[in-house]
């Protein structure tokens, strides 16, 4: 009986088709028993939402964005339409490369990609198959995992490194209690939720995280993500309790990720996690690919999880349709297909933490857009004028001051005001993300010439 940690490792590292199917199937066997309970939860939560004046829970969730629920949905769709052409190019290229590994019988032309082949249990981020799709394999590998293992980086050290990124910008260090009260590794003596999270337990500066990090680059980036939450708390915990929130919940998810965009190969080299990074177009495209497998691949998944829940809460999708509706969205937006035949008794959405835990998800979609806006604005504040993918705000006090001022507003102003205070405009804007990935997009378009893209 394997933990999600172990099964995720199989998804990340195995290149054997049947082994991947088995690990995927194993994890997805945990959720069918949750299905009736989920249906009951939807009923009960909707009663609660109605009692406080909303049509359903989806309407409640869509009403904290300083616009109407309908406008919010349209806004999210607008952003998706802007990034979809880039996603489609990435999908097309990755499918062609997977055909080389697994054969066209397993990965057919013009069809969705089998979901177990993308390196992640939910096919949400594809960075773990970088080695299969690397544009220029002869360039030095950008392999941080190897260095983390060789250097015996444990979880506390990874978190300390993340903290240093923030203090170098001018933030106060984390409180001593953080190191006593956080959970940084999976305990051996009890069952715990290992899905990473960050907390201000007292709403008064009792900052903590709860994580089970392994020495991987992915977890080093999650360390920055979680600390982004804690340093946001640090900036606003003295405000009145109603203002102790992100400008919107997408901001909260975007702060640590924005810092992680400055964890560039040069920065990694400076902390001993990469060997010399040669300059040049090939290395740059490799690095862009690595980033796109993480950030661009995620976009449709970030969108559909709550699309599914909005429809469920609104009664448009009934319990007997839960699983089919889920896969219809996965196919339509992500262009992935189920590894094995599914039935209405399966409950694949329940195999994702945020569904089981009733945690918002569209916030991650927005955060993936916002973080490039924030990155661009902070690079500008730092006086940087070069291309976005080469910018790091590491150690830059002007950028730090701009960021801290925005975080310190908490939820005291409408979120467009907070965005503007950072110099990032007044609305969600896919422009900076597209600008960041422009070199890769051109490269992908060349690679995909003559291919029949889409599914």
At 131, give phi and psi (nearest 5°): -60, -25
Q: Name the active-site residue from 233, 253, 254, 430.
A: 253
Tell me how far apart the alpha carbons of residues 230 and 159 are, in angstroms, rounded to a whole number. 12
Integer Cα distance of 247 and 251 in angstroms: 6
For ligand SER, the closer of residues 116 and 124 by Cβ is: 124
- Considering the rule CB under 6 A, would residue 222 count as an interface residue with ligand ASP? yes
Segment holding 227, helix H or strand E: helix 217-236
Which H or E run contains 3?
none
C-alpha radius of gyration, the chain, whole number: 21
* Catalytic residue selected from 28, 91, 224, 229: 229
With contacts defined by CB under 6 A, how many residues of the chain interact with ligand SER? 2
Q: Does the protein bind ligand SER through residue 374 (CB under 6 A)?
A: no
DSSP assignment of 40-85:
HHHHHHHHHHHHTT-SSHHHHHTTSSSS-HHHHHHHHHHHHHHHHH
Q: Is 282 a catalytic residue?
A: no
Q: Map the footprint of ligand SER across residues 114-153, applying CB under 6 A.
A: 124
Q: Which two tokens stand for residue 444?
A: 């992908």
Question: How far, in whole angstroms, is CA 60 from its chain's centroid?
Answer: 23
Q: With contact defined as beta carbons under 8 Å apart, do 363 and 245 qualify? A: no
- Nearest approach in angstroms of CB 352 to ligand SER is 7
364 near ligand SER, rule: CB under 6 A: yes
CA-based nearest residue to 86, from 450, 447, 452, 433:
433
364 is catalytic: yes
Is 225 labeled as catalytic in the residue annotation? yes
Nearer to ligand ASP, 133 or 209 (CB): 209
What are the tokens at 26? 């194993």
Q: Is residue 226 annotated as part of the catalytic site, yes or no?
A: yes
Of 120, 110, 68, 63, whose CA–CA distance to 88 is shortest? Answer: 110
Residue placing its CB nearer to ligand ASP in the complex, 361 or 455: 361
Partner touching 197 among ligand SER, ligand ASP, Zn ion, none, CB below 5 to 8 Å by kind: ligand ASP
Q: Are the beta carbons of 83 and 299 closer than 8 angstroms? A: yes
Q: Does 230 bind ligand ASP (CB under 6 A)?
A: no
| CB nearer to Zn ion: pick between 236 and 455 | 236
Partners of 210 in beta bridges: 183, 197
Interacting residues with ligand ASP between 287 and 346 (CB under 6 A): none
196 lines the binding site for ligand ASP (CB under 6 A): yes
Residue of 22, 96, 354, 445 marked catalytic: 354
- Axis crossing angle, helix 397-407 with helix 217-236, rounded to the nearest 10: 60
Q: What is the closest distance, in whole angstroms, from the C-beta atom of residue 222 to ligand ASP in the complex?
A: 5
- 225, 284, 368, 375: which one binds ligand ASP (CB under 6 A): 225
163 binds, among ligand ASP, Zn ion, ligand SER, none (CB under 5 to 8 A by kind): none
The distance of closest approach from Cβ of residue 213 to ligand ASP in the complex, given in angstroms and rounded to an integer, is: 11
DSSP for 318-372, written as a single string: -GGGHHHHHHHHIIIII-EE-SS---TT--GGGGSHHHHTT---HHHHHHHHHHH
State the binding partner of 284 from ligand ASP, Zn ion, ligand SER, none, CB within 5 to 8 A by kind: none
Of 101-109, 249-257, 280-288, 303-311, the window that binds Zn ion (rule: CB under 5 A) is 249-257
Binding mask 237-276 toward ligand ASP (x if CB under 6 A, else -) reads ----------------x-----------------------
Question: Which helix (H) or strand (E) covers residue 269, if one does?
Answer: helix 265-270
To ligand ASP, the closest distance from the beta carbon of 92 in angstroms equals 27
Residues that bind ligand SER (CB under 6 A): 124, 364
Residues that bind ligand ASP (CB under 6 A): 196-198, 222, 225-226, 229, 253, 364
Q: Which residues are catalytic?
A: 195-196, 225-226, 229, 253, 354, 364
Residues that bind Zn ion (CB under 5 A): 253
């Amino acid at each position: 009986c394997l933990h999600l940690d172990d099964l995720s490792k199989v998804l990340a590292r195995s290149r054997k088709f049947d082994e991947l199917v088995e690990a995927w199937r194993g994890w997805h066997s945990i959720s069918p028993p949750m299905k009736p309970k989920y249906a009951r939860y939807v009923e009960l939560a909707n009663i609660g939402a109605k009692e406080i004046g909303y049509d359903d829970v989806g309407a409640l969730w869509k009403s904290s964005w300083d616009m109407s629920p309908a406008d919010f949905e349209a806004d999210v769709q607008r952003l998706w339409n802007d990034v979809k052409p880039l996603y489609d190019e990435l999908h097309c290229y990755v499918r062609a490369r997977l055909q080389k590994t697994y054969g066209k019988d397993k990965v057919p032309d013009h069809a969705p990609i089998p979901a177990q082949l993308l390196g992640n249990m939910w096919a949400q981020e594809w960075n773990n198959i970088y080695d299969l799709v690397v544009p220029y394999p002869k360039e030095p590998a950008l392999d941080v995992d190897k260095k983390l293992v060789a250097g015996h980086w444990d979880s506390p050290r990874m978190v300390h490194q993340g903290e240093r990124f923030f203090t170098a910008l001018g933030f106060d260090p984390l409180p001593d209690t953080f190191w006593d009260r956080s959970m940084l590794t999976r305990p051996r003596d009890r069952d715990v939720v290992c899905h990473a999270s960050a907390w201000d337990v007292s709403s008064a500066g009792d900052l903590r995280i709860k994580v089970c990090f392994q020495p991987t680059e992915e977890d080093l980036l999650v360390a920055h993500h979680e600390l982004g939450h804690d340093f946001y708390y640090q900036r606003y915990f003295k405000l009145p309790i109603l203002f102790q929130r992100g400008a919107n919940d997408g901001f909260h998810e975007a702060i640590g990720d924005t810092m992680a965009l400055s964890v560039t190969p040069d920065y990694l080299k400076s902390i001993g996690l990469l060997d010399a990074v040669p300059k040049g177009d090939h290395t740059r495209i490799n690095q862009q690919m690595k980033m796109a497998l993480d950030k661009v691949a995620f976009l449709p998944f970030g969108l559909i999880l709550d699309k599914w829940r909005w429809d469920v809460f609104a009664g448009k999708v009934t319990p007997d349709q839960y699983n089919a509706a889920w896969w219809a969205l996965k196919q339509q937006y992500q262009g992935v297909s189920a590894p094995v035949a599914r039935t209405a008794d399966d409950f694949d959405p329940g195999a994702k933490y945020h569904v089981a835990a009733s945690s918002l998800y569209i916030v991650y979609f927005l955060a993936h857009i916002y973080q490039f806006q924030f990155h661009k604005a902070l690079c500008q504040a730092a006086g940087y004028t070069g291309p976005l993918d080469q910018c790091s705000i590491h150690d830059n006090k002007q950028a730090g001051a701009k960021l801290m001022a925005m975080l310190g507003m908490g939820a005291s102003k409408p979120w467009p005001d907070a965005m503007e205070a950072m110099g990032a405009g007044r609305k969600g804007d896919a422009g900076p993300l597209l600008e960041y990935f422009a070199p890769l997009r051109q490269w992908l378009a060349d690679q995909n010439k003559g291919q029949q893209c889409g599914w």
